[in-house]
Structure 1
Amino acid sequence: MGGISIWQLVIIAVIVILLFGTKKLRTLGSDLGSAVKGFKNAVSDEDKSKEKSEDTQASLANNSVDQKTESEAVKEKDQA
């Protein structure tokens, strides 16, 4: 009780089709699908850019550590 039966859903679907027509519903569905695809692409592009920036930051950190060790090696040579 209180739930929507299959017959009530069929009646609602028929009323919606009569009001809007199949052509308008088809274009609405395709528009909705393209919007969802665009959203997914935007989210994946954002994730890729975050990964790229994290990789860049990690490589910069590694380069600075490498530069420090090189400068320490030069100092040790100068002291010797």
Structure 2
Amino acid sequence: MSDKSILQHINELVEEENRLRAATDAPEQHTDRIKHLEEELDQCWDLLRQRRARREFGDDPNGAQVRDVGTVERYLQ
């Protein structure tokens, strides 16, 4: 997966999240999906950061791996 495809996927997830948040028809129905989108977005951003860090330090960016939701969600910002 390339940086470009990761960024494209991030954009798609953000568009869906925005669409669901803007929905006026019972937004509480979308709560679970929005939570899943937020988690997946965090994973994508983490993968992109890993790839950039590996590249910066002369490592192969393709060695970066998607980390599980539990790991990514426990990061301190």
Q: TM-score range by the shorter chain?
A: 0.3 to 0.5
**TM-score (norm. length: structure 2):** 0.39
TM-score, normalization: structure 1? 0.38
Q: Which has the higher contact order (CA 8 A, sep 6+)?
A: 2
Q: By percentage of residues, which structure has more helix?
A: 1
